[in-house]
Amino acid sequence: MDSLQDAATPGQDGLDDGAALLEAVPDREALLDVAARIVRRVTGCDAVGIRLRQGEDYPYFVADGFAAGFVAAETSLCAKSGEDSVDPAARPVFECMCGAVIQGRVDPRLPCFTPFGSFFTGSTTRLLAQAGALPPGTRNRCNAAGYETVVLVPLRAADTTHGLLQINDRRPDRLDAPAVVRLERLATGLAILLSRQEMAAALADSEARHRAMFFSNIAIKLLIDPASGRIVDANPAACRFYGYSLEEMQRLSIWDINAAGEEATRRDMALTGDAERRFFRFRHRLAGGEVREVEVYTGPVEYLGRKLLFSIIHDVTERVRAEEARDRVEQMLRHDLRSPLAGIAGLAGHLAEGDLTDKQREIAVVIRETAAGLGDMVSRNLDLCRIEQGRYELRPQPVALAALLRRQASLAAPLARRRQAELAFGPGFREDDDGPLAAGEEGLLATAFSNLVTNALEAAPPGTAVTLSLAVEDEAAVAGVHNHGVIPAGIRGRFAAKYATSGKPGGTGLGAYIARTIARLHGGELHWETDETAGTHIRVRLPLYRDSSGSPAA
């Protein structure tokens, strides 16, 4: 008989006892091995197999009593190829009756399926003789291997199918309906145990990853209870930084080290709960009493069932001190140096306009221009500092590039004579035209081109020319500076990097860097090309100044 109601087999009371026994086996491999042995011993069947999910397939994890060739041929359930190998959701469609049971492609109205979703037959030979009794994709290897009794029970818990329990015997009608029900109870218990093991393994893996992340890192890290403020955990870097042992850290509250105190610290911690803030600047007190400036990145985490705050602390004390020193230097330059220079220039101007000899007037003019030049240089250096720090607010105005470059050439004329080089005006310069109007600040652009022209003259071989050019390309103003020298090979790739210099006496490596920094502030760029034949071409692209209609201004 092939129906569960008519089949018959000896009693199976040992299966229920076996299910209770399995709870005492903690290891998955041992658990499945014990389960297979219990089922085989109690049922008296020839072979018991257990499939487990592995990726997208369900290969055999245990195969007790099956021939090696049978296992090798049957272990994979994934269809090898063809348009029916995946379903509309691109998931693999499993072959064989094992695959149909795992994926729930069963019809409980048929006598070979149970309401639980298991497959059962007391005779594969009789079943195969019935037309349409099996779903498509059945491989029928069990029958080909001589197995008559076959039971396939899904290992299912909480709507998750972990695998399949398979019982085969070459004798017909070895199991009956009550036996299959007991096997289903055993399979459910086994699936629950597998679920627990998977959850425990996932939790252990999560904890291991947390501890690896938390402890195997040089960054200072704390876990804080947001309710009590207690420091729950601290990594070795935190213990070294604060000067406490781990046990001492865990006896502290966060406001014991935060100089802001409990009230302010609680208020800031409350902001992290609603994701209002993740970044803070604090002053933290070390065990020895020293106070350090820190930046803290913090946010909520769930660890071992507790909602905590995970904080990463960066010691920025040296940076803060450097910023304070920079501010003091800026203050000194702005008031203690620039103001006296302005006074010297003003007094020298008054002297030059007075009753002086020609020689005295010449000296007064030199004093005035030198003091004014030093004052401009101080202003430009202050501007450069603000540009580098992202604190400079550009106020673009129309800048006539031809006129600006002519002035720079005039100022550089004495250097050109000393270098025995000629300053020439190439394409884009006409007597009656100031060239394209760039959108920028004239003082900054004058600094940029002053550096580029000076660099070009210092690099030009004696008897050659430094040529300035202008053009409009792709709605941008392009100013060019060309000389017949070659950028040294050692710095070609970083020519415009800060402090990039090679062999030039007194060179600071700042000229091209300053020019590119200013160009980028204006939304432009500096490019260079150099070789032994053509020399060095520097091209500075700048945005064109546009009138109120958005059109480039003439």
What pTM was estimated for this model as a whole? 0.43
Q: Which amino acid is at 149?
A: T
Looking at per-residue confidence, does 333 or 155 come out higher? 155
What is the SS3 assignment for 315-335?
ECHHHHHHHHHHHHHHHHHHH
The pLDDT score that the predictor gives to residue 238 is 92
The pLDDT score that the predictor gives to residue 496 is 82
Which pairs count as long-range contacts for 519-522, CB under 8 Å and 24+ apart, including other chains?
A: 519/448, 521/387, 521/392, 521/394, 521/444, 522/394, 522/396, 522/438, 522/439, 522/440, 522/441, 522/444, 522/445
The mean predicted confidence, pLDDT, of the chain is: 83
Interior angle at CA 52, CA 47 and CA 54, nearest 5: 140
| pLDDT of 505 above 70 | no
What residues have CB less than 8 Å from 337, skipping those under 6 apart? 378
| pLDDT of 516 above 70 | yes
Helices (H), 244-300: 246-249, 262-273
Per DSSP, the three-state class of 406 is helix
| pLDDT of 446 above 80 | yes
Domains of the chain, with CATH numbers?
15-201 (3.30.450.40), 217-317 (3.30.450.20), 320-389 (1.10.287), 397-543 (3.30.565.10)
The pLDDT score that the predictor gives to residue 21 is 54
Separation between Cα atoms, residue 332 and residue 247, nearest integer Å = 48
Mean pLDDT for 229-248 is 92
State pLDDT tens for residues 272-286: 766 667 888 899 999
State pLDDT tens for residues 291-303: 999 999 988 887 7
Separation between Cα atoms, residue 171 and residue 124, nearest integer Å = 10
| pLDDT of 6 above 90 | no
Q: Considering the chain, what percentage of its residues have pLDDT values greater than 70?
A: 82
Mean pLDDT for 136-161 is 88
Q: Which two tokens stand for residue 336?
A: 């203690």
Per DSSP, the three-state class of 40 is helix
Structure-derived torsion over alpha carbons of residues 355, 359, 360, 364, reported in degrees to the nearest 10: 110
The DSSP bridge partners found for residue 312 are 221, 297
Looking at per-residue confidence, does 272 or 62 come out higher? 62
| pLDDT of 8 above 70 | no
State pLDDT tens for residues 343-379: 777 787 777 788 888 888 888 888 877 777 677 777 7
Per DSSP, the three-state class of 355 is coil
The pLDDT score that the predictor gives to residue 85 is 62
| pLDDT of 5 above 60 | no
| pLDDT of 535 above 60 | yes
State pLDDT tens for residues 104-132: 888 888 889 999 999 999 999 998 888 66
**Top-confidence range, 12-21, 89-98, 181-190:** 181-190
Q: Which amino acid is at 330?
A: E
The pLDDT score that the predictor gives to residue 218 is 75
The pLDDT score that the predictor gives to residue 475 is 85
